[in-house]
Structure formats: C-alpha cells, structure tokens
Amino acid sequence: MTDGTGTTEAPASGGTGPAHRSTRGHGSERAARSTAESARLFARALELFPGGVNSPVRAFRSVGGEPLFIRYGEGAYVVDVDGNRYIDHVLSWGPLVLGHAHPAVVRALTDAASRGTSFGAPTVAEIELADEIRSRMIGLERIRMVNSGTEAVMSAIRLARAFTKRAGIVKFAGCYHGHADLMLVQAGSGVATLSLPDSPGVPPQTVSHTHVARYNDADSVESLFRAHPDDIAAVIVEPVAGNMGLVLPGDTFLQDLRRITSRHGALLIFDEVMTGFRVALGGAQAAYGVTPDLTTLGKVIGGGLPVGAFGGRQDIMDMIAPAGPVYQAGTLSGNPVAMHAGLATLRELARPGVQDSLERNAAALAEALRAAAGRHGVPLRAASVGSMFGFFFVDSPVTDWDGASASDRDRFAAFFHGMLDRGVYLAPSPFEAGFVSTAHGETEVAAFAAAAEDTIASLAD
C-alpha cells in the first residue's frame, strides 16, 4: 500500500479491441466533444428504465449532464457511441483489472461459451477457481460461489447469525455492502451519491438489528458491544473503504476489529468484493495481516462477468446446505463461463511483477493529483492502495464518512467534466474509488497527469 508517492515504469498498453481509434477526447487538450448520439439513446432509455439507467450512479445525477453510452472497450480505453475515446478508470466499477477485452480472458470466454453457457451442475472450472482463490487467501478454507456481491454478503450474514445464534450486525457509516434490506443503513456508494436516506421499502424491523459504527473508530464498535451484549453476530467491514471514495484503514483499526470480535464471540466479515485481488493478490487481509472469519468476494473473480463468492473457516462454512442447515442456493452459481473468465484473470494477475506495476501506476495517479493541487492552491487529498486510487476536495485527512461527505461536490463535478473533456473517464460520483489495470502504462499515466494539471488549474480560486 502507498500514499501515492511512487512513479511508474510500466510499459505503455496496446489495445486489444476493434481497430478503429478515434483521437477525439484523448490527452490533456480540452476537446470539443459531440455526445449527440449518447443524448439520443438516453432519451430512449428514459422511456424504458427508471431514471434511464439500470444502476443509479450511472445516471450522472451528482455531476450533472447525461451518461455516456459505451460502444466498446480496448485495453485501458473505452469508446462511446459518438466515437470519443477515453482512458478508463472506472473499469466496470473495478473487476476489469486486466483492462478491456484482455486476450486471455476473451479466449477463456470463447472456449467456455462454445461448450455451453450453463448446466446447473458441477464443473471442473469451479474447482480450479476455488483452488486459485484459496491459495491466495488463507482464511478461505471453504468457499461457496454465488452470482453477485450483494448475494455473497446476504448469505454470509445469514450464516454468521446461524453460527453465533445472534441477530445483531455491526456495519460502518459510508460502507456499502450491496442492496439487501438489512445493509441499506447509512450506506455509501450510490445511496450517498443520490443523497438518499435509508431506502423506502425497507421495513424498520428489518434493520432493527443493524448497528452503525464509525469507520476507523474501534471505540465506537466497543460501545455497540457494550450496548448490545451477547446480541451481535458479526462485524462487517470494507477493510479498505471504496464506497465512500477511497478511505484507508488506520494503523491498528483492522487488528482492533479482530481483537474485539474474538473477545465478544462474534464473527469478523471482510467485504472484499472490491478489494479482493485489487489491494493485493491475497486481498486486504493479506496486505494488512488480519484473517477474518468470513470473506465476501466479487468483481475480479469473475473477470468482468456477474459472479460473487463467500468463504471462510471450515467449521462455519460447513453449516451451509447441503453440509448443514443454513439454506443458500442459486441456479447460476458457479456458472462455467464466469468461472473460466475469473480463472484466466487471477492467473494473469499472479504473473511476476504485475502487482508491483499496478501499485506503481495507481500511486503515480494519486501523486499527480496531489502535485497539481499543490501547485494551484486547490484543497485536495489523494491516496492509493494496490490498484485503487481516490481523492477528495477537502483540506483535512479523510478517515471516515463524515470526512468524506465534507468533500466539495460542486468542485468534484467540475473536475469530473473537465477530465472527461480531456479524455479521462472517472466514476461520476465523489464517493467511488478509481482503478488502474494492467493495460494502463506510462502513456496513460502521463495523459492522466496532464489532464489533471489543466483541469485543477481551471478550478483554482
């Protein structure tokens, strides 16, 4: 992990997608972009989908304007339907750690799909992927494949409650664990982006056992255990928060959570849906040296396809049906196409030097942001860890949701559109992390730095 002071020596990427390469919207020069076709498609989408999108943050509500419709991706780039080409730091919100249409993943997908897309029966690929995951994350003695991060979290919490025979769950303000009812309490990500409180449609009794602590504040967790003795089944945490923007754990925060939960007979759940294989090859638990009782996974382990998983200690996991009484099922769980895509991705990530290159590039982006902000007197805090980076337009260090929510949203919106005009695609929300892939190299890092310099200069008071 790093505070973003590194440099990059990674080679420039080579695109693997369609041969057409528009030069519009690339580099630091502010481009005159046309988005007429995206606007036309969004008008159609508004007649078909609530808000015109199939996931809320895509709607650009927090930054203004209308969403871009993407035609294709190639390596470190996406190209929209108007032909504008952007360096992509969204990367499908994290899973594309190898970039778009990586040859190894495309081969795996093509080969798997040619043999059938779903069987609802065991396949060799799910064993191989589980072995690959378990070899990297030593705390996952048993694994259950599911279809999304939300499903993984929902199932892990049900299991924790059954194992401990308790009902209470502790989460942290600003941490997002999917959209299951019991987790939509002071959630980050899209809930924060749209300024929504706890979601309508969630009965109060559903969240009556969900308790909220402050991220990076172990004392707030201790207080909840004192207030609810013998009732808390588990503490669930993003070990590196990525859904209120990127917020790193304090020096002893994760170790304190391990100590507190063990003392009170509760389970510790790491939600590594975002951080798994992004923070480090063994996830945040390897990077920070803390082994949770249960772990939820998603994003990277599907290579860009819908997939999730949860796993942990054998004595806990053996309570899952059919080994035990806790029911969980899914027709598409262990889908062979997703398993092969994930397997190809994890094997590429394990190549020598790959993780070091990813970390250097993410650190270089964070440093470029800090340096530009310092030169132009713009309040900004930036950090990176593994292949993730993030920033806030604030004066003070950000350690929790209160600090993140103080970020200047108007300045972020102006920065977002300024970077977009200069050919850099970021998440349209101040409360999301950014990502790099193995396809991002020196060329992309330099272009990001130049775009950030010009954009931040335009924001100076």
Instruction: Show which residues are catalytic.
Output: 176, 271, 299
Using alpha carbons, select from 380, 384, 401, 405 the residue that is nearest to residue 392. 380
Cβ proximity of 394 and 384 under 8 Å: no
Peptide bond just before 352 cis, omega within 30 deg? no
As a whole number of Å, the CA-based R_g of the chain is 21
Order of strands, edge to edge, in the sheet holding 168-172?
142-146, 308-312, 294-297, 267-271, 232-237, 168-172, 210-213
Written as six digits, the tokens of 253 are 């925060």
Written as six digits, the tokens of 383 are 């950090």
Q: Secondary structure of the chain: what % helix, strand, coil (to 5)?
A: 40, 15, 45
Q: CA distances (Å), 84 to each of 27, 36, 59, 95, 418, in order? A: 12, 11, 19, 23, 15
Using alpha carbons, select from 93, 66, 94 the residue that is nearest to residue 80. 66
Cβ proximity of 366 and 8 under 8 Å: no
DSSP letters spanning 105-171: HHHHHHHHHHT-S--SS--HHHHHHHHHHHHH-TT-SEEEEES-HHHHHHHHHHHHHHHHT--EEEE
Helix H segments across 253-400?
253-264, 283-288, 314-317, 336-349, 354-376
Distance CA 200, CA 241 (A): 25
Cβ proximity of 359 and 3 under 8 Å: no
* Non-local CB neighbours of 18 within 8 Å, separated by 6+ positions: 72, 74, 79
DSSP letters spanning 174-227: T----S-GGG-SS--HHHHHTT--SPTT--GGGGTTEEEE-TT-HHHHHHHHHH
Q: CA distances (Å), 304 to each of 337, 359, 435, 438, 461, in order? A: 11, 20, 14, 14, 40
Distance CA 411, CA 15 (A): 32
Written as six digits, the tokens of 35 are 């988005």
Q: Is 416 helix (H, G, I), strand (E, B) or coil?
A: helix
